[in-house]
Amino acid sequence: MSLIPRRSFLSRLSLASAAVAAGGFTFPVQAGRDQFVEVEIAPGRLRGVRHEGVNIFRGIPYGGKVSGNRRFRRPGPVEPWAGVRSSVFGAPAMQPPRQNEPAPAEDCLFLNIWTPANDNRKRPVMFYNHGGGFVIGSGASQSQDGSNLARNFDVVVVQTNHRLGLFGFLYLDEIAGEEYAGSGNMGMLDIVAGLKWVHDNIAQFGGDPENVMIFGESGGGAKTSCLYAMPSAASYFNKASIESGPGVRMTPKEVAAETTAMLLRTLNIAPADWRKLLDIPAADLLAVQNRLPFVPPFIDKDNPKKKPTPGAGGFGPVVDGKVLPGHPFDPTAPSISKNKPLLVGWNEDEYNFFIWQRKEVDLLKMDFEGLKKKLEPFHGADTAKMIATYRKTMPDASAPDIFVAISSIAMMGLGSIDIAEKKANQHGAPVYLYNFGYKSEKKILDTDYPMGTPHAMDISFKFNNEVPPKDPSQPSESFFGGSRPERFIASHHFAELWTTFARTGKPAAADVPEWPAYNLEDRPTMRIDTRCEVIDNRFAEELAMWKSIGKV
């Protein structure tokens, strides 16, 4: 399905996400002007911060110990605390250090809440799964701060930290016994524990436990795809959004077992002595993880009959037949979520993110002969047909433009459309397909090539964090979104569509056309921008080409 091998793409994605995450974009709380608000939950009393009309509770423990004898197992219980617990971010999962956050730690099961008020009003709950593949990230970065969604759209936003990498996805079921059942999906089960906590407690934070939307971008989209197919999560949410991270297939348990064997060989541990893993310091295990292939071999699908290609390495959700009974959207959409509405889509210029992150600026200088040479190693005899199709549908495009268009739809678009088609085929709850298309004028590094709509730019837009500065005389520029004030309109559209979907199960916004559910006749797609529009059968010729060469 991909222009480049899926493993290579996810390596780029994880490393790129690491580059963004390492920047440490977090919102400081101006404590001098803030008030405090307190709430009682079972383990003890919490103190939150009321800041500009939003109650913020950070670092709430939703699970207990996952280190020591709890490593690779279900969490221990949350330990009660005396006094009042203050609102500070909890430790992120084991990963390289993150600026403006506590040091990463094994015991990382904390969540953050943004709510307009603790008043039992039963607002819709938007439960976000952070990106970063399955190896980095947390619920505390600036672009996904939930304050503006809570303040401007009257919703409750929740985000978790959860186990990542080998601490969350090392498959031990076949060698460690029943006590470690589900070990290959502990990171996902942590998120389920967070959802259960929300179900049990969110009413005290002004949220409705019976109206919960799960959503996530990039790796968070893949996590959301898994949750959509997991029986243990089913009773805790009733709608979902998968953004620039279509998790159609996950790691087969046979491949996960090979990865576990590779890790044990690297550590010179016999399978029968696997318990030695419990005694190795977490920092040492992280160092070993970084020497192995970075991400799991997500399964490409060149044609419907092709079997998954085996290969070890990387850590992510495992299709173990129990926690994750099957691939999330292969061969069909999961029946367990047939009656749950779904949003799915991608950004128009996803690949520009990777050009920026990897400094691949030479790609922006290629001519059409260079484009052919770039594509041929991956597509062979199909390359000429691919280029001809895109030159026809994009007659004014340069060779780099076409390369970005092909790469972007191959990485995120084909899987998103696959999910939409399979969901529509269920004839259950509706699915809505989108493209995000607001164009940032910012240039990629030292070039004249604009960012456009790169991977990850949608995060700050859908969280409504592209807003005018409080002081109009001050310049305003976002990390990817640029400085044009038109972006504030696009951000409001995006956020209103998502929060309305959270509230009602149907995305809608003022000054936006009615968004019809996806179907296999008209194939409507909402293009989100300063002016939103519904486009029927978008990319029809391109998709016909992809299908003709067996990529979908």
Q: Catalytic positions, please?
A: 218
Beta bridge partners of 251: 318
Asked whether the bond before 454 is cis by omega within 30 degrees of 0, the reply is no
The dihedrals phi and psi of 70, each to the nearest 5 degrees, come to -100, 0
| 274: nearest Cα among 166, 189, 378 | 166
| 345: nearest Cα among 541, 497, 504 | 497
Which residues lie below 8 Å from residue 64, measured CB to CB, with a gap of 6+?
70, 75, 76, 77, 78, 79, 107, 109
Beta strands 342-347 and 431-436 are parallel
Q: Is 235 exposed, middle or buried (0-12, 13-18, 19+ CB in 10 A)?
A: exposed
Q: For residues 473 and 475, what is the distance between their CA atoms, to the nearest angstrom?
A: 7
Q: Are 65 and 107 in contact (CB under 8 A)?
A: yes
| 467: nearest Cα among 496, 443, 510 | 496
Joined together, the tokens standing for residue 290 give 């970084």
Residue 320 is classified by DSSP as -
How many CB atoms are located within 10 Å of the residue 537 CB? 12
Task: Compute the radius of gyration of the chain from its Cα atoms.
Answer: 23
Q: Are 248 and 256 in contact (CB under 8 A)?
A: no
